[in-house]
Amino acid sequence: MSNTQDRVHLQARKVSFSWDDTPLHWVPGDPFAAHTINVLHLLLPAGERWFVHVYRQVLPLIRDERLREDVIGFIGQEAMHSQAHDEVLPHLKELGLDPTPYTAQIDWFFEKLLGDRTLPPGRARRWWLMERVATIAAIEHYTAFLGNWVLNAEELDRRGADPTMLDLLRWHGAEEVEHRSVAFELFMHVDGGYRRRVRTWALAFATLVFLWQRGARFFMENDPTLVDGRASFKDFYVRGRRGVLPGTGDMLRSIPRYLSRSYHPSQEGCTEQAVAYLAQSPAALAAEKGAA
């Protein structure tokens, strides 16, 4: 089931970033682009903690040793992603943009709404676990999409975006590309139902769009340096054309790919590029030196 060509041993890297010199508008002169990407820092700490929480419960159900190993590596990487993005939040607060009202809601969303419900053991509990495993597979389709995008987003370099933030995004993006098959393979291994895949994709996609536009508007409206900050879909579309944000067309084209019955994440992105970035990412290098 796994794609043997692309197989790499997944391992968490202990990275750390120093945010002292990162400005609020880390894409110079383009607060909307910076804030749209900043929404990641709002969603990921709670979201990836939730991934880990769910996967801890699935681990005993895995009957394939290699997949098990992958999932263990996946859990460690996701836990680090969650922590790394979490550390940006106090910095945003220092810069005068307190994200807590929004993150408290995201915490509620993942810890309560999508948390462990009081369900009788057996079918109900398994159903809820499988729904969440399928949802994670759908979300991971988009994290791999975004990871692949940010690895290739040369426009951000040309515009002089903050190198620390770019390193965080690309380290994270590269690991997402590196482990992009795990969530899907796990879902296919423990359940694999096509109807469930479509249903959870629809919910995950709608929720992501809802939370993302909400987060971008939240940042734009509360940014202390903007007089009349607004976010609109047009802004997003225009920046997608310029290459500062993911292109709308690319995003739409990725939908039928996930829904295709022959989908496998290894068709998206390129492991070699991800591994090559990790081999020269300042944060990943420092992590390797620390571990040695």
What's the helix, strand, coil split of the chain in %, to 5?
70, 0, 30
Contact partners, residue 154, CB within 8 Å, separation at least 6:
243
Choices 99-107, 169-177, 234-242, 259-267 (CB under 8 A): range interacting with another protein: 99-107
Tokens 């795990």: give the residue.
182
Q: How many Å apart are CA 227 and CA 155, to the nearest integer?
A: 27
Q: What single-letter amino acid sits at 111?
A: E
Q: How far is the CB of 253 from another protein (least distance, A)?
A: 30
251 is a contact residue toward another protein (CB under 8 A): no
79, 52 Cβ separation under 8 angstroms: yes
Listing DSSP states for 54-68 in one string gives: HHHHHGGG---HHHH
Residue closer to another protein (CB basis): 42 or 161: 42
Which tokens go with 68? 């098990």
How many whole angstroms separate alpha carbon 101 and alpha carbon 66?
Answer: 41
82 vs 148, beta carbon nearer another protein: 82
CB of 110 to another protein, least distance (A): 9
User: 123-142 mask for another protein (x: CB under 8 A)?
Assistant: --------------------
Q: Which of 106, 130, 168, 188 binds another protein (CB under 8 A)?
A: 106
- Exactly one of 33, 37, 54, 75 binds another protein (CB under 8 A); that residue is 75
**Minimum distance from CB of 214 to another protein (Å)?**
8
Q: Does 64 bind another protein (CB under 8 A)?
A: no
Angle, alpha carbons 219-149-69 (nearest 5°)? 105
Q: Which stretch binds another protein (CB under 8 A): 10-18, 32-40, 180-188, 264-272?
A: 10-18
For another protein, the closer CB: 93 or 158: 93
Binding residues for another protein restricted to 218-237, rule: CB under 8 A = 218, 221
CB of 106 to another protein, least distance (A): 7
For the chain, give the number of residues. 292
Could you tell me which stretch among 54-62, 176-184, 245-253, 260-268 binds another protein (CB under 8 A)? 54-62
Dist. CA 58–CA 48, nearest whole Å: 15
Nearer to another protein, 41 or 196 (CB): 41
Question: Helix, strand or coil for residue 179?
Answer: coil
Of 52 and 208, which has the nearer Cβ to another protein?
A: 52
- Which of 66, 108, 209, 272: binder of another protein (CB under 8 A)? 108
With contact defined as beta carbons under 8 Å apart, do 7 and 67 qualify?
no
- Distance, in Å, from the CA atom of 77 to the CA atom of 282, rounded to the nearest integer, reads 17
Contact criterion met (CB below 8 Å) for 6 and 178: no
* Interaction pattern, residues 32-51, with another protein; x per rule: CB under 8 A: ----------x--xx--x--
If one asks whether residue 99 binds another protein (CB under 8 A), the answer comes out as yes
CB 106 within 8 A of CB 43: yes
Name the site residues for another protein (rule: CB under 8 A).
Answer: 11-12, 14, 42, 45-46, 49, 52, 56, 59-60, 72-73, 75-76, 79-80, 83, 86-87, 89-90, 93-94, 99-109, 111-112, 217-218, 221, 291
